[in-house]
Amino acid sequence: MKMKLAEIAKAIAVKNDITKWQDVEITSVAFDSRNLAAGALFIPLMGQSDGHRFANAAFENGAAATLWATDHEVTTTTDQPVLIVDDPLQSLQELGKYYLHKINPMVVAVTGSNGKTTTKDMIASILSTQMNVTKTYANFNNQIGVPMTLLSMEPNTEAVVVEMGMDHFGELDFLSRMVNPDVAVITMIGEAHIEFFGTRDKIADAKMEITHGLKEDGTLVFNGDEPLLIERTASLAQQQLKFGRQLENDLYATSVNAATHEITFTVNQWPEEDFTIPMMGEYNVNNALAALTVGQLLHVSVGNMRQALANVELTENRAQWIQGTAGEQILSDVYNSNPTAAKQVLHAFAQTPTTGHRIVVLGDMLELGDASPRLHASLADEFDAAAISDVYLIGPQMKVLYERLIEAYGTEHLHHYDVENKQQLMNDLEKQIQPTDVVMLKASHGIHLETVLQNLAD
């Protein structure tokens, strides 16, 4: 981005006179005073700490200006540009929407209980073969991350792929109306955040909010294997395209060959073409089908789509293979977890070829509410002691799964740890793991299994 403060002040209704600073040029936005580029506009957000406290540090690190809430006394120690607004977060969102309209790219919005980050990466890879594309960084997919994504666009951006997350009603409605997508994508309906919604029906209702800002001539791309979505899209006026494994979909897989580090598949639309994605798990075929549907809709050639999927750059820690220090292969899927995703990864991992042992490390799945014991226990269906030899569980919720597995595994091959005993878990793993083993790590982000990954891989 590149905007002068005079333009920004007009876009977000600044309360104070900024005439003497109106020609100051802003080249980025940032809400972390420690990590910003020279020329940034600092956004002091209210979180665990009050962002206003770090405005001086932001200026010291190169910020060109800062927003400032009207209910805070200005305390910057230098005569630096300060733009006073009612609410810095709301102003960030307004500026993102303004800049989106200014650049006017094609907008693809992606949500779903599982697979939205991978699908976002695949769509961006496909579109990038023929367009200048910006995509959501990491999982910047909330009320802060979405406007930050919009404001990261270069002036020549032709398409922006925006990931959208939610855990309460109204959040996708807000984000969808912010970006007014040309294409909205729903990957699937699972049980993530069921604590807040109670049922999968209500989760489906919440996911459908992504259509609330969908342009009248826009298109909804969704998983046609999901009856809850079929029901809810029946009355939608916009064009709809379905992907999945069933023959009733517009795009479906006709064959799938899953290997350890890649999957090759064919589809009905281009029966002579083989598509390959560099990841494990047959469930990822649906994510690729969603991306192919968007690519076809936006007139990307089949050759470009095939090449883009084969070379897609995936967001870190999403079913990523890493070599450990002992020589073992580690499947890192530590960013997040929910019952549907955990079952999918376990099923794929149990079929991973190895001359050693398959070892699983699972941490609690959070935000499952009253259904948590039942959903943690349900993971037992994916365990076969003949396929997965050793299981390490961490967190209070995983105690239920431990009790389900103890008869099949015994205490020699099944272990449970409290979260505060993570170091003991790491010590025990290090003692057991051999170079020929394969290890899987998965948990909700709040369990921080990335520390276990670092210990095994550094």
Residue 116 annotated as binding site: yes
Q: Is 114 annotated as a binding residue?
A: yes
Instruction: Tell me the per-residue pLDDT of 276-289, one tens digit each, with 9 for 90 and over.
Output: 999 988 999 999 99
pLDDT at 81: 96
Residues in the chain: 458
Lowest mean pLDDT among 92-101, 132-141, 196-205, 324-333: 196-205
What domains can you pick out in the chain, each with its CATH number?
3-86 (3.40.1390.10), 105-310 (3.40.1190.10), 320-457 (3.90.190.20)
pLDDT in tens, 12-23: 999 999 999 999
The answer to the question of whether 115 is labelled as a binding residue is yes
| Model confidence pLDDT, tens digit, residues 389-426 | 999 999 999 999 999 999 999 999 999 999 999 999 99
Q: Which pairing describes strands 82-85 and 28-30: parallel, antiparallel, or unpaired?
A: unpaired
Q: Residue 243: its pLDDT value, please? A: 98
Ranking 52-66, 192-206, 297-311, 333-347 by mean pLDDT, the lowest is 192-206
Backbone CA torsion sign across 333, 338, 341, 345: positive
Q: Report percent pLDDT > 90 for the chain.
A: 87
Return the structure tokens found at 30: 């940032």
Stronger pLDDT, 48 or 352, i.e. the higher one: 352
With bands split at pLDDT 50, 70 and 90, how would you rate the model's confidence at 377? very high
* Phi, psi dihedral angles at 40 (to 5 degrees): -80, 155
- Give the mean pLDDT of the chain: 95
Q: Which two tokens stand for residue 210?
A: 């992504």
Residue 128 annotated as binding? no
**Torsion angles phi and psi, residue 314, rounded to 5:** -95, 150
Task: State the virtual CA torsion across 425, 428, 432, 436 in degrees, nearest 10.
Answer: 30
Residue 320, pLDDT score:
83
- Do 312 and 88 form a contact (C-beta atoms < 8 A)? no
395 is in an annotated binding site: no
pLDDT exceeds 90 at position 458: no
Q: Classify the C-alpha dihedral 181-185-186-187 as positive or negative.
A: negative
Structure confidence at residue 398 (pLDDT): 97
pLDDT of residue 198: 80
4 annotated ligand-binding residue: no
Angle at 39 between CA 61 and CA 96, to 5 degrees: 115
- What is residue 410's predicted lDDT score, i.e. its pLDDT? 96
* pLDDT beyond 90 at 436: yes
Residue of 87, 93, 85 lying closest to 175 (CA atoms): 93
Q: Provide the pLDDT confidence category of residue 386 given band limits of 50, 70 and 90.
A: very high
Check residue 47 and give its pLDDT: 84
Please give the structure tokens belonging to residue 163. 């990931």
118 marked ligand binding residue: yes
Is the pLDDT confidence value at 367 over 90? no
Write phi, then psi, for 453 (nearest 5 degrees): -60, -45
pLDDT confidence band for 197 (50 / 70 / 90): confident
What is the Cα–Cα distance from 109 to 271, expressed in whole angstroms? 28
The number of C-alpha atoms within 13 Å of 96 and in the hemisphere containing its C-beta is 28
CA nearest 331: which of 385, 410, 384, 342? 342
Question: What pLDDT score does 317 carry?
Answer: 65
Q: Is the pLDDT of residue 79 over 90?
A: no
| Residue whose tokens read 């540090």 | 57
pLDDT score of 121 more than 90: yes
Res 217 pLDDT > 90:
yes
